[in-house]
Amino acid sequence: MMPYIGKISGFSHGFLIGWVYSPNRLEERIVVEVYGDDYPMALTCAQVWLPELAHIGDGCHGFCQGIPAAKLTMINRLSARVANSD
């Protein structure tokens, strides 16, 4: 299994915000699965440039996934993980 480093940075105005990268493959664009109460809700790609990660490869490791307000009222916890990384 390839190691990944990442973090959910926050949630703002209906968007889950975070970043993830693989130290061994800095050019890789990683697909992230977003979960609500452990149920899959969305897939997104970590490919957004972030100034705080500019020193890591090309700095394009951020993601921002919109979560519909109707779904937010039905869940207690949001989480994210690298897709297919059981």
For residue range 3-26, list pLDDT tens digits in order.
999 999 999 999 999 999 999 999
* Higher pLDDT among residues 86 and 84, named by residue: 84
Please state the pTM of the whole predicted model: 0.89
Residue 58: phi and psi, rounded to 5, are: -90, 5
- Report strand pairing: 30-36 vs 15-21: unpaired
Residue whose C-alpha is closest to residue 7's, from 82, 83, 86, 84: 82
Residue range 32-42: mean pLDDT, rounded:
95
> How far apart (Å, rounded) are the C-alpha atoms in residues 58 and 13?
27
How is the chain split into domains, by residue range? 5-82
Q: Taking phi first (over 0 means left), then psi (-120 to 50 degrees means alpha), and beta for anything else, what does residue 7 get?
A: beta
